[in-house]
Amino acid sequence: MNGSGRILVVDDEPQIRRVMKTALTAHGYEAYEARTGEEALDGLRECNPDLILLDMNMPGMGGMAACRSIRAISETPIIVLSVRDQEQDKIAALDAGADDYVTKPFSVNELMARIRANLRRTPWQADSEEPIVLSERLKVDFGARQVIANGHEVRLTPKEFDLLHYFVANANKPITHRKLLQTLWGPDYGDEVEYLRVFVSQLRKKIEDDPAHPRYIVTEPWVGYRFALPSRNLNESRE
């Protein structure tokens, strides 16, 4: 299955960039290159990529710092590529703003599947919706992609916003880890529970009064999560 879109490949090894560019072009993507994190930031402005493939081990700025810098100015999906396969490495990359993590070595088919998963529009999303008042402290306008928490607008990454959207759409229902992963990342996912831990933690920090004792995003032990909300709030917001 071929795709379309602009992909920025950030890696300091010329051979890897050539191989990646060839594979991406063969699958219908426009491929651009950057050798360092600094070049990646320049490339972000110049080619306006739809997705970034970011190597973790680079000289200069380094992959982790580059990831944070990119995320500070852009919502472009970031897939981190790394030889490290420990859970703490994945968590650190996701904490830095990555949307996905692929361990080297990987097959071209695996990488293309990950790219498609991170480029696709989540099918349950509506193009526009009326603003929803979840409580006096939390208001969400899904059409405008705007979240107001405690009177202040908070900036969510694309994945955080998708997660909140899905939680609200399924308020008061326990949702399994697998269901969340396969809905937000795609059918090839299901076991990457550390992804959810990171994104739920980040989302709690942004919308909860006390992230350590969440009011909205409640953990369902051994199951997943539940977005706790009195149903009358949702009904009243749509009247």
Which DSSP symbol is given to 96? T
Q: Is the pLDDT of residue 234 over 90?
A: no
Lookup: tokens for 183: 């809905």
Instruction: Give the pLDDT score at 134.
Output: 82
64 pLDDT tier (thresholds 50, 70, 90): very high
Average pLDDT over residues 35-45: 91
- CA separation for the pair 54, 37 (Å, rounded): 9
239 pLDDT tier (thresholds 50, 70, 90): very low
CA 196 to chain centroid, in Å, comes to 10
CA 129 to chain centroid, in Å, comes to 21
Q: Is the pLDDT of residue 57 over 70?
A: yes
Whether the CB-CB separation of 115 and 168 falls below 8 Å is answered with no
Q: Is the pLDDT of residue 237 over 50?
A: no
pLDDT digits (tens, 9 = 90+) for 119-170: 876 554 545 466 788 888 899 988 888 899 988 999 888 889 999 999 999 9
Lookup: tokens for 116: 């498609």
- Residue identified by tokens 């009904």 is 235
For the structural domain made of 132-237, what CATH number should be given? 1.10.10.10
Instruction: Give the pLDDT score at 136.
Output: 84
Which percentage of the chain shows pLDDT scores above 90?
67
Q: Is the pLDDT of residue 46 over 80?
A: yes
Q: Reading across the β-sheet that carries 6-10, which strands appear in turn?
A: 30-34, 6-10, 51-55, 78-82, 100-103
Residue-range domain boundaries for the chain: 6-119, 132-237
Whether the CB-CB separation of 18 and 42 falls below 8 Å is answered with no
Instruction: Give the pLDDT score at 61.
Output: 85
- CA separation for the pair 11, 36 (Å, rounded): 7
Q: How long is the chain?
A: 239
Angle at 2 between CA 41 and CA 96, to 5 degrees: 30
CATH class, domain 6-119, is alpha beta
DSSP H helices in the chain: 14-26, 37-47, 63-73, 87-95, 108-119, 158-169, 177-184, 193-207, 231-237
**Which amino acid is located at 94 in the chain?**
L
- Residue identified by tokens 């992963």 is 181
